[in-house]
Copies of this chain bind each other. A is one copy, B any other.
Amino acid sequence: MIIMNSEATKEEIANVVREIKKFGLKADISQGAYRTVIGLVGDESKIPFSHFAVLPGVKEARPVETPYKLISREYARMAEGETGNRIIKVGDVEIGGDEPVFIAGPCAIESKEQLFKTAEGVKKAGAHILRGGIFKPRTSVHSFQGLGGNGSEGASEALSWLREAGNRFELPVVTEIRGESQVDLVAEHVDIIQIGARNMYDQDLITKVARKGKPILYKRHFGAGIEEFLSFAEYIVAEENRDIILCERGILPLGKGRSYTRYTLDLSAVPAMRKETYLPVIVDPSHAAGRRDLIFDLSCASIAVGACGLIIETHHNPVEALVDSQQQITPDELKEVISACRQIHKAVQHCQRT
């Protein structure tokens, strides 16, 4: 859509129309009393709007379609005949299906014993997928970076533990990847590859991971608008990988005084995104809250708002955790969360209109 200045001349309008035609599109001119608006008829992606914005007489030039096309509900319907939501199958688990899915496990894998104890606990609590961090993104270079951090050889060992724990307790496994050099190794060992919030914008990493063809747990950056998040998810689909689990994990809190949660969990984003895309959306209450006493409440709210599942940091003994000990819960607490969420899901499902 090209919006002309109120004083735009006929010549300027004609010039814009000529430019549009150069790009193989058709122009529709709407001449009002105050100004002329020129609509673009055709595939807008061929139009460099910034080019038009600086043409003489132009007030504003912008696309009217969403920047994400391949992951949009509209596209799925119009271009491909798909209608429903995408259901991602990982082993026997269905993400985006009828039941909410629970992913749990320690923030960081610290030892084989710690991982196995926690894995056993989350399995008993009813979780479906096991998480465990090996390459930890950290704000400070002085902090523990995970067993795979700093390029040490601990990575392979930790990954094999994760695989073994998954097999033992019949839980598909997921771990986060932080850099391109880890992609091949991680893809060999896990069922789902996580791209964390801090790497959300890393299009080279995203592309490389997408090509592995495995399901991707893709987290929204805390500074990313919904439109931006969905646009970057499009980089994955562009590699013909549609097994994307979107994850809301909190956005920047208001910068005023003392903060009561580490981030602001943007629960409105869950139904808002579900209306835009056919991909499943889950929620991570642990990183959003940064405090364990809110996990139960936020988990309930996430399921009530329509999330397809949750990823919750769980540790068999949070007090001893090397990372994020303030926000991890125990397997027993996880059990309560899962139980409440299931009841809420039933209550909502019963009523919810599409």
Q: Is A9 at the interface (CB under 8 A from chain B)?
A: no
The 8 Å CB contact of A45, one of B142, B204, B266, B296, is B142
Q: Is A297 at the interface (CB under 8 A from chain B)?
A: yes
Complex Cα gap A221–B199 (Å): 12
Q: Is A116 at the interface (CB under 8 A from chain B)?
A: no
Say whether B348 contacts A54, CB under 8 Å: no
Q: Is A205 at the interface (CB under 8 A from chain B)?
A: yes
Q: Which residues of B contact A55 (CB under 8 A)?
A: 319
Say whether B199 contacts A179, CB under 8 Å: no
Complex Cα gap A32–B203 (Å): 34
- Assuming the contacts A141-B234, A178-B203, A252-B252, asked whether A40 and B32 have C-beta atoms less than 8 A apart, the reply is yes
Complex Cα gap A270–B144 (Å): 30
Complex Cα gap A353–B275 (Å): 33
User: Which of A79-87, A93-101, A257-265 sits within the interface?
Assistant: A257-265
Q: Is A326 at the interface (CB under 8 A from chain B)?
A: yes
Say whether B255 contacts A254, CB under 8 Å: yes
Q: Which residues of B contact A254 (CB under 8 A)?
A: 223-225, 251-252, 255
Q: Which residues of B contact A227 (CB under 8 A)?
A: 256-258, 260
Contact with B along A301-332 (1 / 0, CB 8 A): 11111100000000000111111111000000
* Interchain nearest-CB distance for A188 vs B (Å): 18
Q: Is A42 at the interface (CB under 8 A from chain B)?
A: yes
Interface residues of A in 107-140 (CB under 8 A from B): 137-140
Complex Cα gap A178–B318 (Å): 37
Complex Cα gap A348–B95 (Å): 24
Interface residues of A in 34-54 (CB under 8 A from B): 34-35, 37, 39-42, 45, 48, 50-51, 53-54
Q: Is A157 at the interface (CB under 8 A from chain B)?
A: no
- Assuming the contacts A141-B234, A267-B267, asked whether A344 and B348 have C-beta atoms less than 8 A apart, the reply is yes
Residue of B nearest to A345 (CB): B347
The 8 Å CB contact of A294, one of B65, B266, B272, is B272
Complex Cα gap A277–B158 (Å): 37
Say whether A41 contacts B32, CB under 8 Å: yes
* Interchain nearest-CB distance for A329 vs B (Å): 12
Q: Which residues of B contact A213 (CB under 8 A)?
A: none
The 8 Å CB contact of A261, one of B178, B268, B352, is B268
- Assuming the contacts A255-B253, A256-B227, A319-B55, asked whether A67 and B139 have C-beta atoms less than 8 A apart, the reply is yes
Report 27 cross-chain contacts, Cβ distance below 8 Å, ordered by A residue: A3-B64, A28-B32, A32-B39, A32-B41, A50-B325, A50-B326, A51-B321, A54-B319, A179-B208, A180-B204, A198-B202, A199-B201, A227-B256, A252-B252, A255-B255, A264-B268, A267-B267, A268-B298, A271-B294, A272-B294, A297-B305, A300-B305, A300-B344, A303-B304, A336-B353, A340-B351, A344-B344
